[in-house]
Amino acid sequence: MGDWMDSYLKRLVKNREENQTGGGKERIEIQHGLGKLTARERIDRLVDPGSFEEFGSLVRDPYTRLAKTPKPSPSDGVVMGMAKIKNRPVMVYSLDFTVMSGSIGDQGVWKIAELVQMAGQEQVPLIGLIDSAGSRLTFKGGFAGLNGMGRLVRNYCLYSGVIPQITLILGPCTGPMAQVAALSDFLIMNRKTGFWWLGGEVESKEAGTAEFHMTQSGQCDLLADSDEEALDSARQLLDFMPQNCWGKPAAVQPTDDPQRTEEELLEVMPNNPKFTYDMHEVLNLITDNGEFFELKEGFAPNLIIGFARFDGLVTGIAASNPDELSGIMEPDSSDKYDKFMMFLDTFNIPLLTISDTTAYPPGDKWERMGVIRHGAKNLHGYSHLTNPKVTLVLRRSYGGSNITMGCSKMGPDFIFGWPTVEFAPTGPESIVQAVFHKELAKAKEEGKYEELYNALLIPLKEQFSVMNMGRAFTTYYTVHEVIDPRETRINIINALHASENKIEELPDKKRFIKPA
């Protein structure tokens, strides 16, 4: 090897050494003191050992900064490249907080924009690890990378629905990068160090925190107590996704009996419909090994969403939870449901809806919140699904829930109902009150209210019972089959296998227009 090549290799080695130390040992110690991993440590934890191949390692910040002493800018604060997670190719980038507080510079933003395009063209998942104080200022003032930011945002949008996009907020995420994070399919936040804020004054201690975005804004999908836990969650979440929109999630060899019955399902639901129960109990009894990967757990808990497996097949679940607000369908739960079912359809993941709800709540409060337009998004979304769809109705399916939750002729492949199901335009109790209010008022004066009320309600409930309605297969509300609750798992698995290779086509059009 000649001296000329040796000199180049020495420069390359020096560059790599500089990159390994990031913003310097002191900054790394501060990072660790905050309970955070460095950008490179995060990538090492996320991907398979030895699989990371870096891109753009020579890049440096080309501008003069406001600081009197020049600061190191290895990789311009963006560590990125290709890697493997459980032997699956992915693209990953990690913002380095030790380099000028992870601020986004002119070259760094172009690097990420290029990586997003690479991920889309190679059709592999994209994972972003954000720990950034926001936009980096030049000596002349202003953010040098707005042009690059425009390209970054556009690439995220263009390849949305082509590849899965997962973002982890492990430190601050402010300014333009806050919008980038919101464009992802799923977002994970470190409960202790994550902070997500677009701009302006922070007016409360809770605003911008991980808890705030889980319980208030509903924009966070998973919370973690450490970087390590967040990174492990990302690896686990990826298990439920295919590489791109043209594939299907990989099935696993099941370790749970597909013919398993569950006697406990007979005891989950209370005898009195006035009492509630937790839908998680049902999920734990029917999924493979009782495992359920829940998303947005702290937001709109009246609707449960998440991933599970049935006989090894990945399935997305959207289930009413009677234990929270009687499982009503209000604006927040509608938004939660909408994005999730769009993701499932895009990436060829079956949808299992489990319904026990009194449907949309009436009243001025909900109308002001836009309950109609939020619910319309669900109707519009479900109507466009072409993925396998299985519906299970357990107890109540009143009003608009019947179509929103896929209980009627909205295109589900299979509809199963427990014998306890009631289909009604609204709750039978409400109908009795509305139709016989005069008679009930008189009976109350005579001390016979309960006697008359039950005399009117019981036959009406029988009329709305699936055991009665099931005699007409297509006329009104119906199911494909009323099943023994103990055999729920068996019926779901058989339906999922039957619909594995289904073909469902929509009318040819340029795009659909979702309700506002």
3-state secondary structure 226-261: CHHHHHHHHHHHHCCCCCCCCCCCCCCCCCCCCCCC
Distances (CA, A) of 222 to 171, 301, 305, 419: 15, 14, 12, 36
Topology of domain 265-421+465-498 in CATH is: 2-enoyl-CoA Hydratase; Chain A, domain 1 (3.90.226)
Mean pLDDT check: name the lowest of 163-167, 279-283, 377-381: 377-381
- Give the separation between CA 305 and CA 331, rounded to whole angstroms: 15
Q: Once rounded to an integer, what is the mean pLDDT over residues 381-394?
A: 96
What is the model's pLDDT at position 473?
67
Mean pLDDT check: name the lowest of 69-73, 152-156, 294-298: 69-73
What is the model's pLDDT at position 7?
83
Mean pLDDT check: name the lowest of 17-26, 101-110, 430-439: 430-439
- Give the separation between CA 432 and CA 449, rounded to whole angstroms: 12
Distances (CA, A) of 217 to 182, 381, 514: 11, 21, 21
What is the model's pLDDT at position 145?
59
List the Cα angle 237/238/240 in 5-degree steps: 75
What is the model's pLDDT at position 396?
87
Structure tokens at 422: 């009631």
- Give the separation between CA 411 and CA 413, rounded to whole angstroms: 6
pLDDT beyond 90 at 111: yes
Q: What is the mean pLDDT of the chain?
A: 90
Instruction: Work out the pLDDT band at 66, boundaries 50, 70, 90.
Output: low
What is the model's pLDDT at position 144?
52
Check: CB of residue 221 under 8 Å from CB of residue 293: no
pLDDT tens per residue, range 40-57: 999 999 999 999 999 998
pLDDT beyond 60 at 140: no
What is the model's pLDDT at position 139?
53
Check: CB of residue 101 under 8 Å from CB of residue 132: yes
pLDDT beyond 60 at 351: yes
Mean pLDDT check: name the lowest of 25-29, 114-118, 285-289: 25-29
The residues of the chain that CATH labels 3.90.226.10 are: 14-238, 265-421+465-498
What is the model's pLDDT at position 465?
80
pLDDT beyond 80 at 142: no
Q: What is the pTM of this model?
A: 0.92
What is the model's pLDDT at position 264?
97
Cα Rg for the chain, rounded, in angstroms?
27
Instruction: Work out the pLDDT band at 495, boundaries 50, 70, 90.
Output: very high
3-state secondary structure 88-114: EEEEEEEECCCCHHHCECHHHHHHHHH
> What is the amino acid identity at position 10?
K
Distances (CA, A) of 162 to 151, 238, 359, 438: 17, 15, 33, 59
Percent of the chain with pLDDT over 90: 63
Q: Once rounded to an integer, what is the mean pLDDT over residues 221-244?
A: 98
pLDDT tens per residue, range 173-224: 998 899 999 999 999 999 999 999 998 888 888 889 999 999 999 999 999 9
What is the model's pLDDT at position 286?
98
- Give the separation between CA 292 and CA 484, rounded to whole angstroms: 23
In three-state secondary structure terms, 222 is strand
Q: Once rounded to an integer, what is the mean pLDDT over residues 336-351?
A: 97
Instruction: Work out the pLDDT band at 2, boundaries 50, 70, 90.
Output: low
Listed ranges 314-328, 444-458, 470-484; the one with the highest mean pLDDT:
314-328
> What is the amino acid identity at position 64?
T
Q: Once rounded to an integer, what is the mean pLDDT over residues 232-245?
A: 98
Q: Supply the DSSP string of 370-382, one letter for each residue.
A: THHHHHHHHHHHH
pLDDT tens per residue, range 298-319: 999 999 999 999 999 999 999 9
Instruction: Work out the pLDDT band at 95, boundaries 50, 70, 90.
Output: very high
Q: Which residues contact 224 (CB under 8 A, 6 or more apart)?
A: 188, 189, 190, 191, 230, 233
Nearest CA-CA partner of 301 in 319, 285, 275 = 319
Angle of helix 437-445 relative to helix 428-435, nearest 10 degrees?
80
Percent of the chain with pLDDT over 70: 95
Instruction: Work out the pLDDT band at 456, boundaries 50, 70, 90.
Output: confident
Give me the CATH code for the 14-238 domain, please: 3.90.226.10
pLDDT tens per residue, range 117-135: 999 999 999 999 999 988 8
Q: Once rounded to an integer, what is the mean pLDDT over residues 264-281?
A: 92
Structure tokens at 513: 């227009």
What is the model's pLDDT at position 55?
95
